[in-house]
Structure formats: structure tokens, C-alpha cells
Amino acid sequence: MKLVLDLDACQGYANCLIESPGLFDLDDRTDKAVLLDETPAEDRRAEAEAAVRGCPARAISLESS
């Protein structure tokens, strides 16, 4: 699995941080999300899926590796 973050679409709502703090951080300068790991372990799939569902800007997607 691979997480993809579209920074152009990111609106800085920080929902991904709330849903998945182990996968995302926030860039203090831009208030946009930063991926901590593009290829998280399989046991974090539920956390990654929650981030995708919780993103109001639809800036996060999950792809098969």
C-alpha cells in the first residue's frame, strides 16, 4: 500500500493528523500535511483508510503497491 498526498489539493484542515497522527505531521509554515511514511506497514491500513475518508479536500489517496 502507498499513501499519496496531493499538496495542491490540501487545504490544511489537519483532519489527517487527527485520524492518523502516526502517518502525518503538519508543516508549521504552510499548515499543510506532511507524509511521515509513504509506504506504511500493512498493520496501519485502517489508520491510512481513516485518513483518506476523513480528508474533506480529498487530497489523500491510497494505492496498491
Listed by start position, the domains of the chain span 2-63
- Rounded to whole angstroms, the Cα distance separating 28 from 18 reads 16
Kindly report whether the global pTM for this prediction surpasses the value 0.95. no
How does pLDDT run along the chain (65 residues), one tens digit per residue?
Answer: 999 999 999 998 889 998 899 999 999 898 899 999 899 999 999 999 999 999 999 999 999 86
Question: Is 2-63 a CATH 3.90.170.10 domain?
Answer: no
For 44, residues 6+ apart whose C-beta sits below 8 A from its C-beta are: 20, 22, 23
